[in-house]
């Protein structure tokens, strides 16, 4: 059974695109591609109201408690988020999230019936040192089954320096080879890092790339719509 592509919009700490109701088509799933949006907290109710499949950019594993400024997966799930990003490199970098924290979040999300997208990827220094596979192996060890993965090389995020389709495919094939045999075919592995309307198709054409996690281009409805359309063309071809 082929994997349906998933295109995810990570709006990060930015307001939702203006007049969202007028460009909603770009952000709504269709029969050929799943589409999920990850808005900043305050825009979540609007996205849910507009019928978008909506996820949390982060959620803490504890349900409630004295964690000023944090938000829990439990609360995000209560308000209607069905997906969550775990371990985005910006969370690892600015909030010092560890692999152990990320495993805990992914497990909790699954327990709540949410779908975690666990982000993994090496930094520029790690790639230059030839350590990308070591890093990925470490980031993937002990992750629960039933998750979606996003390979996001840190050097490609927000830099305009996309991994080439061949580089990305190499890493995706490696990542898939590390999955337990019974999860290998069914697990979606997204690529993230400067995906846009122009490069999406060549990335999505790779056999082990099952979708995209999109930052900058996801804030531009037309551009994001092009990425979704590229995914739709992929499935139509199957």
Q: Which residues are catalytic?
A: 88, 152
Contact at 8 Å (CB) between 12 and 215? yes
Cβ proximity to ligand PGA, 49 vs 86, nearer residue: 86
Binding site for ligand PGA (CB under 6 A): 10, 152, 157-158, 192-195, 213-217
The span from the CA of 55 to the CA of 18, in Å, is: 19
Helix (H) or strand (E) holding 213: strand 211-214
Residue 106's contacts (CB-CB under 8 Å, 6 or more residues apart) are 86, 87, 116, 118, 143, 144, 147
Cβ proximity to ligand PGA, 213 vs 234, nearer residue: 213
Minimum CB separation from ligand PGA for residue 152, in Å?
6
Minimum CB separation from ligand PGA for residue 157, in Å?
4
Minimum CB separation from ligand PGA for residue 231, in Å?
15
Cβ proximity to ligand PGA, 72 vs 89, nearer residue: 89
Alpha carbon separation from 238 to 3, 201, 219, 231 (Å, rounded): 10, 14, 29, 11
């Amino acid at each position: 059974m082929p994997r349906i592509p998933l295109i995810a919009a990570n709006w990060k700490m930015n307001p939702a695109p203006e007049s969202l109701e007028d460009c909603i088509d770009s952000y709504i799933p269709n029969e050929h591609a799943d589409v999920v949006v990850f808005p900043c907290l305050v825009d979540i109710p609007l996205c849910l109201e507009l019928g978008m499949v909506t996820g949390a950019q982060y959620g803490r594993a504890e349900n409630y408690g004295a964690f000023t400024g944090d938000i829990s997966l439990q609360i995000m799930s209560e308000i209607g988020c069905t997906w969550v990003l775990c371990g985005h490199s910006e969370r690892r970098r600015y909030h010092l999230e560890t692999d152990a924290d990320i495993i805990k979040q992914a497990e909790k999300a699954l327990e709540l019936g949410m779908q975690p997208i666990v982000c993994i990827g090496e930094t520029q220094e790690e790639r230059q040192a030839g350590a990308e596979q070591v890093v990925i192996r470490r980031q993937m060890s002990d992750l629960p089954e039933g998750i979606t993965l996003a390979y996001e090389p840190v050097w490609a995020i927000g830099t305009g320096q996309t991994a080439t389709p061949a580089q990305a495919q190499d890493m995706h094939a490696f990542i898939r080879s590390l999955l337990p045999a019974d999860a290998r075919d069914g697990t979606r592995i997204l690529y993230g890092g400067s995906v846009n309307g122009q490069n999406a198709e060549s990335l999505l054409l790779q056999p082990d790339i099952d979708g995209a996690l999109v930052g900058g281009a996801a804030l531009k409805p037309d551009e994001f719509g092009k990425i979704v359309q590229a995914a739709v063309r992929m499935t139509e071809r199957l």
